[in-house]
Amino acid sequence: MKASRKDNHRKSLFDESMEAFYRAAELIKLDPRVRLELEEPDFEHIFYITIETRDRLVPVTKEEEARFKDLPASSVKAGEALEPLANGQLVLHRRALLKADITLREGVLRIPKRGLFRIEKGGPKKFKAYRIQYNQVRGPYKGGVRFHKDVSLDLFKALAADMTWKTAIADIPFGGAKGGVRIDPSAYSKEEIEHVSLRFIYKLKSIIGPYVDIPAPDVNTNPEIMAIMMRQFTDGERMPHAMRGVVTGKDVRIGGSEGRAKATGQGTVYCLEEWARWRGESLAGKRVLVQGFGNVGTASAEILHALGAKIVGVQDAYGTIHNEKGLDVPALLAHAATPENLRRSVEGFTGGTKVAREDFWKLDAEIAIPAALGGSITGDVAENLRVQVVAEAANGPTTPEGDKVLGDRKIDLIPDIICNAGGVTVSYYEWLQNLRMEHWTEADVNNRLERAIKANFGIIHDIATNSPQKTPLYDSRRFVVGKKIDMRTAAMALALRRIENHYLLEGFSQ
């Protein structure tokens, strides 16, 4: 029984991502009213944000350069007053012009050691923003905020649904949400991103809160942005300290949790440890490919490296590097963190060889970790993979076609809704610590996280292999469906059972 909304139009990302939902719903005979509640989000908020942008210095084109070759250099105050952006432009702060000696021709000037730039006037810029609140039957809406040029309602619906399944799998008392802004952050200054973050929360203030909807970092958002968002939400309130749980993923010095920064990567590694244990193996010596070198990719690589695995290939948005002997991960992290490396990219790292983008997933390894954006493991990519397991640290990295090929080729899969659940699990610990005004040690956090991920991954494995059992850590007997099924459907079956319990025991809202 498929919903009628699936007819008459090209498959959207949301429709694709719901395929596992429908499969699992059929299999466990999900209550029809619960299915209806879960087929669409509770709320879809779409709104606009306007900020003032500063003037820019934009590099002139190669053709134009010849016309200005005799233009003398201007002496402007460089440093942070001319703020370099990752897209090659400079933000022109007016203080750069104080005591400056400028030669301008047709709006073009020469900056010493940097070249020729045209001044472009700043002004108001408008951005489309979203917050999708998918379901809250198990607790407050919970999900990340993404700043990216390719976001859409369709994408956020899919990601918000994923959060609903993920919080149920992690067995934490939250629902699912997602949102963000359609913006290319590489084209904006720190101050402009701050203004976008402030306006985003200003507009959402009446529909988020520690008991309502709790944002967190996702692609291109980070602890600094969470701090700005928390301040905006609590500003002017009489009890701001009681509201710190409005966002998670904060810096540990202002109410963030120890272990949160690495939690998503750590959760992925706990899953991989279990995967290796089931095979009677260990992670030491295994060769790993990591796509994405941001929060999740760096943490996964760093933790696996420390366990003796070899990170043989890394790809990010700007470059791909390979070293069959294993990359020196601490050196690679240092390379990405140098202040001049504005894109935080692996590009230019000398401890490996450059590889063509399209050849990355063909590299020899045992473990593939997509930790960037969705849709990277397509059918074609899956055909060429030479690994034993795909650990989905990113959200939705495998297309339905890719899924099919992985299954046919008997490549193991650790589905995203358990593989990257470490982030939201430690977000829950952060929220608890905020409410209780406590601060837990990193060891405490990681011990709890390890138990939670390994127990829930164990249940999913038991559902997939139809092996009901009660262990000291968990009881999977209530969740198995009486036959072997794939891991993605098994994960979804676990999520749906837990969500269904709430509806069936509490009843439905009006």
- Bridge partners of 141, per DSSP, are 213
Q: Considering beta carbons, is residue 276 or 421 the nearer one to ligand NAD?
A: 421
Nearer to ligand NAD, 361 or 474 (CB): 361
Kindly state the smallest distance separating residue 429's Cβ from ligand NAD, in Å.
13
CA angle 281, 285, 286 (to 5 degrees): 70
Neighbouring-strand partners of residue 386: 364
Residue position matching structure tokens 């692609």: 219
Contact yes or no for 214/248 (Cβ under 8 A): yes
Q: Helix (H, G, I), strand (E, B), or coil: what is residue 11?
A: coil
3-state secondary structure of 158: helix
The verdict on 294 binding ligand NAD (CB under 6 A) reads yes
Strands 287-291 and 310-315: parallel
CA dist., res. 401 & res. 382, Å (int): 9
Please, what is the minimum distance in Å from the beta carbon of residue 218 to ligand NAD?
Answer: 5
Residue among 147, 134, 120 nearest 49 (CA): 147
The interface region with ligand NAD, picked from 312-320, 377-385, 407-415, 485-493 by CB under 6 A, is: 312-320
149 or 205, CB closer to ligand NAD?
Answer: 149
| Cβ contact 132:179 at 8 Å | yes
Under the binding rule (CB under 6 A), the answer on residue 259 touching ligand NAD is no
Give the one residue of 220, 300, 433, 434 binding ligand NAD; rule: CB under 6 A: 220
Give the range of 88-96, 369-377, 398-406, 463-471 binding ligand NAD by CB under 6 A: 369-377
Based on the shown chain and the rule CB under 6 A, indicate whether residue 135 belongs to the binding site for ligand NAD: no
Q: What residues have CB less than 8 Å from 375, skipping those under 6 apart? A: 13, 396, 397, 399
User: Mapped to the 3 state alphabet, what secondary structure does 286-341 carry?
Assistant: CEEEEECCCHHHHHHHHHHHHCCCEEEEEECCCCEEECCCCCCHHHHHHHHHCCCC
User: Cβ 444 to ligand NAD, closest distance in Å?
Assistant: 19
Using CB under 6 A as the binding rule, whether residue 500 contacts ligand NAD is answered as: no
28: contact with ligand NAD by CB under 6 A: no
Among 193, 229, 373, 417, binds ligand NAD (CB under 6 A): 373
Q: Nearer to ligand NAD by C-beta: 291 or 434?
A: 291
Q: Are 194 and 218 in contact (CB under 8 A)?
A: no
At its nearest, how many Å lie between ligand NAD and the CB of residue 264? 4
**Binding test (CB under 6 A) with ligand NAD, winner from 164, 189, 234, 264:** 264
Q: What contacts 170, CB < 8 A, 6 or more positions away?
A: 421, 424, 425, 428, 452, 453, 456
Residue 165 makes contact with ligand NAD by CB under 6 A: no
458 makes contact with ligand NAD (CB under 6 A): no
Active site residues per annotation:
178
CB 17 within 8 A of CB 166: no
Residue 315 beta carbon to ligand NAD: minimum distance, rounded to whole angstroms: 5
Q: List the one residue from 315, 398, 399, 476 that touches ligand NAD (CB under 6 A).
A: 315
Encoded one letter per residue, x for contact with ligand NAD by CB under 6 A and - for no contact, window 374-413 reads: -------------------xxx------------------
Q: Which stretch binds ligand NAD (CB under 6 A): 88-96, 193-201, 287-295, 465-473?
A: 287-295
Minimum separation from the CB atom of position 294 to ligand NAD (A)? 2
H-type alpha helices, 319-441: 329-337, 379-384, 400-408, 416-419, 421-436
Q: Which of 139, 143, 179, 292 binds ligand NAD (CB under 6 A)?
A: 292
**Which residue of the chain is nearest ligand NAD when measured via CB?**
294
Could you give the 3-state DSSP secondary structure of residue 215?
strand
Instruction: Go through the chain and tell me how many residues it has.
Output: 510
- The rounded distance, in Å, linking the Cα atoms of 431 and 276 is 32
Q: Is 415 in the site for ligand NAD (CB under 6 A)?
A: no
**248 binds ligand NAD per the rule CB under 6 A:** no
Query: Could you say whether residue 425 binds ligand NAD (CB under 6 A)?
Result: no
Query: Footprint of ligand NAD on this chain (CB under 6 A)?
Result: 217-220, 264, 291-297, 315-317, 371-373, 393-395, 420, 423
